[in-house]
């Protein structure tokens, strides 16, 4: 009887043990010329954006809004553009977690044209207190 009581208590306690996933996750919204084109989160399966180079106009931009449950109002943030070999090709700095950071699509096209292959660019978010940087999405410029 005593063992049965202990087992019942143990099973009830298991219900209150937190699971491996957090109930709050980081999310990011990607805009192309003020129009939201994608929403991602930590558990999104496929983080890829395709832009057709022939449709790009002067002044086009990609803007990323990064949201988290523990924001920082004044810490340094950045978007980092890397090639598939991990070489940093561009870095745009910002201040604060919820403040958007913009990338010029024309600058990205110049980077893409300077690369030998037609591989994608990896776009990362970095916050001073976040380690390591987070891969937000892969950008294909076709």
**What pLDDT, on a 0 to 100 scale, did the predictor assign at position 142?**
85
What pLDDT, on the 0 to 100 scale, is given for residue 19?
Answer: 47
64, exposed or middle or buried, with CB in 10 Å at 0-12, 13-18, 19+? buried
Strand partners, 104: 61
User: What's the count of helices (H) and strands (E) in the chain, helices before strands?
Assistant: 2, 9
pTM, two decimal places: 0.79
Phi-psi region of 59 (alpha: psi -120 to 50; beta: other; left: phi over 0): left
pLDDT recorded at residue 129 = 75
Each of the 142 residues of the chain gets a pLDDT tens digit; together they read 676 666 556 555 555 554 444 557 889 999 999 999 999 998 887 789 999 988 999 999 999 999 988 888 889 999 999 998 999 999 999 998 889 999 999 999 999 988 877 789 999 999 887 668 899 999 999 8
């Amino acid at each position: 009887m005593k063992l049965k009581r202990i087992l019942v208590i143990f099973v009830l306690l298991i219900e209150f043990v937190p699971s491996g996933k957090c109930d709050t996750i980081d999310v990011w919204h990607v805009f192309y010329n003020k129009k939201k084109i994608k929403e991602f989160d930590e558990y999104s399966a496929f983080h890829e954006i395709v832009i057709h180079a022939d449709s790009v106009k002067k002044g086009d931009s990609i803007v990323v809004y990064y949201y988290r449950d523990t924001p920082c109002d004044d810490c340094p943030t950045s978007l980092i553009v890397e090639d598939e070999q991990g070489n940093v090709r561009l870095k745009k700095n910002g201040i604060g977690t919820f403040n958007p950071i913009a990338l010029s699509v024309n600058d990205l096209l110049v980077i893409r044209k300077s690369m030998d292959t037609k591989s994608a660019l990896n776009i990362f978010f970095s916050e001073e207190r976040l380690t390591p940087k987070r891969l937000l999405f892969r950008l294909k410029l076709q």
